[in-house]
Structure 1
Amino acid sequence: MTNRLEQTKALAGEARLAVLTWLAEPDRHFAHQETGKPSEIGVCVTLLTEKLSMAQPTVSRHLELLRRAGFVSVRKIGRWSFFRRNEDAIKDYKEWMNEHL
């Protein structure tokens, strides 16, 4: 069962909303990623850390909240973590919000 409260809390932060916005168009915002095309493999946490101008542990906490809410997925390649939006979960949440507000 989806935890709507956890999802709502995950969206209650400027940094997390920015990440979701950037990940909607990863090739535009992270075209300089050298590891692979962001829209195919996701965006490296290092690039998200740089763009947010925050410490890596802080960014990791934000990403973990988004992951637990189901809004992003993570893919490990070697020692690196790559994040991408979970469009199905975001669509489901939007539909739920429209039904209940």
Structure 2
Amino acid sequence: MENIVDIFKVLSNRTRVDILIWLKNPLEHFDKPTAHLNKNMSEKGGVCVGDIQEKANMSPSTVSHYLKMMQQVGLLESERHGQWTYYRRNESNIKQLVDIMKKDL
């Protein structure tokens, strides 16, 4: 897991926290199925950047930057299919973060 300070820096932004919440239960937060999802998509699923950008009501470049930051610290993982990238939570790293917070903070 990345430096915990870097993780908290990423989580210091409300939109990035919202993205993490939305991806916890994507069927609840994204009302339309992703049109570009193909049969080769991993069983783990994911949400297309465009759908996240639409829900966040922010520019594509800002949302892409946020997602990259979240991925770099290990909160998200991505899967690319053609021209589309799908993001999902990295549940094992999030669990590890929660365990560290319970034990050490």
The TM-score with structure 1 as length reference comes to 0.90
Alignment length (residue pairs) = 101
In structure 2, stretches of 5+ residues that fail to align are: none
Amino acid of the residue matched to residue 47 of structure 2?
V
Percentage identity across paired residues of the two chains: 33
* Residue of 73, 92, 96 corresponding to 2:96: 92
> 42, 48, 56: which is aligned to 1:44?
48
Q: Structure 1 residue 35 and structure 2 residue 36: aligned?
A: yes
Partner of 1:79: 83
Flag the 1:43–1:80 CA change in 2: closer, same or farther, 3 A.
same
Taking structure 2 as the reference length, the TM-score comes to 0.87
- Structure that is richer in helix per residue: 1
Q: Is the 8 A contact 2:36 2:84 kept in 1?
A: no
Q: Flag structure 1 segments of 5+ consecutive residues without an equivalent.
A: none
Instruction: Say what the alpha-carbon RMSD is for the aligned residues.
Output: 1.9
